[in-house]
Amino acid sequence: MISDNIMDIGQGQQQEDFFEGTEKLLELWFESTRPGCKSLRLIPRFELDEICKLAECEIISEMHNESCDSYVLSESSLFVSDNRLILKTCGTTVPLNALDKIMICAKKYANQTELTNVFYSRKNFLRPSMQPEVHSSIDDECMHLDKYVKNGTAYCLGGLRDDRWYLYTCNPPRAYLSKADHTLEIIMQDLDREVMDTFTMEQSVDGYHATKLSGIDKLVPSNTKIDSKLFEPCGYSMNGLIGDTDEYVTIHVTPEPEYSYVSFETNQSQLCLFSQLVKVIATFRPNRFLLTVCADDGSDKGRLAQKDMMKAMLPGFKRVDFQMVITSEHAVMYARYERDQYIKEICK
């Protein structure tokens, strides 16, 4: 089987010169209808700190609305709502090592014992050999997830030897009603230098400033409450909570030119997802990116976005890969784009 290591690039580079922007994204959905179930938001902060510690990162900022708690982490983000927990971490963090503790806390504080759905996903790492053992291959990650998930299944979207995206999920029992959720994720690489410079201490004073300067504040629905952080000497994270819903936006920027990486993720339902995509690409100006749209059967917005994106052209870009997976409960669309060489040359 194609090993992750085949794509291990830049091994000659010194480790200290490199940061793996690629996030591991763990999204857990718990049963919410059984009598006695309580909100996951009852898990106290010290336990969330412990969960993050096990994943090898820490909470550096928090923000709340009526439906969701948002935490900016030293490496990416954590969102907790009544029956959904999202842990997204980059670098060499180990989110799967936090699973035991998450399950224990869900039971102890929310009387939640049953996962109704699980999504674990990531792009292929740039430097898989630098990852800790649990995350050293999708194979290992699957085996770890199998301890918590019944009928887990995994897909590789994209070519086995190109940039690609792995998804582990499960086929939930039919008893659970279909949700109407959707998620748009855009993973960008090789980004415009000028845009990336915005996310350095040289150009921006703090997260708030970088958010304005880069235009991120205009990118998200207008009623988004933003918690952003600029890192020293560079790097940026933001969580946004939309109105008082559990809809969120989260953006993470690794601006170093050698391995520039930006991720954008949202489950917002205010903007059409295709126009959201266009805004994101116009703001960050990547030379290549991949995008995924996951849509539950009940999500008209998500399904519509998939249809739009299947047909749509993005001026200046060539779609080099397109894939779709349809399971009994949801549909996942994957596409990879590269800027036309010509345009890439002019832009230099």
**Per CB under 8 A, 292 contacts a copy of itself:** no
**Per CB under 8 A, 9 contacts a copy of itself:** no
Neighbour tally for 9: CB within 10 Å? 13
Measuring CA to CA, which residue among 197, 194, 191 is closest to residue 260? 191
Backbone angles phi, psi at 87, to 5 degrees: -120, 115
**Per CB under 8 A, 3 contacts a copy of itself:** yes
Candidate residues 49, 58, 162, 206; the one interacting with a copy of itself per rule CB under 8 A: 162
**Per CB under 8 A, 320 contacts a copy of itself:** yes
**Per CB under 8 A, 153 contacts a copy of itself:** yes
CB closer to a copy of itself, 22 vs 137: 137
Q: Give 340: exposed, middle or buried? Use CB within 10 Å, 0-12, 13-18, 19+.
A: middle
Please, which of residues 323-342 interact with a copy of itself by CB under 8 A?
Answer: 323-328
Please, which of residues 133-152 interact with a copy of itself by CB under 8 A?
Answer: 137-139, 142, 152
Beta bridge partners of 70: 63, 79
Edge-first strand order for the sheet with 59-64 is 59-64, 68-73, 76-81, 84-89, 24-30, 115-123, 165-170, 152-157
| Shortest distance in whole angstroms from residue 303 CB to a copy of itself | 13
CB closer to a copy of itself, 159 vs 173: 159
CB closer to a copy of itself, 271 vs 325: 325
Q: List active site positions.
A: 20, 23, 76, 90, 237, 252
Q: How many residues bind a copy of itself (CB under 8 A)?
A: 29
Measuring CA to CA, which residue among 277, 302, 301 is closest to residue 290? 277
**Per CB under 8 A, 33 contacts a copy of itself:** no
Candidate residues 155, 248, 261, 284; the one interacting with a copy of itself per rule CB under 8 A: 155
What b/e string do you get for 157-196 counting C-beta neighbours within 10 Å, with b at 16 or more?
bbeeeebbbbbbbbebeeeeeebebbbbbbbbbbbbeebb
Binding site for a copy of itself (CB under 8 A): 1-4, 6, 137-139, 142, 152-156, 159-162, 318-328
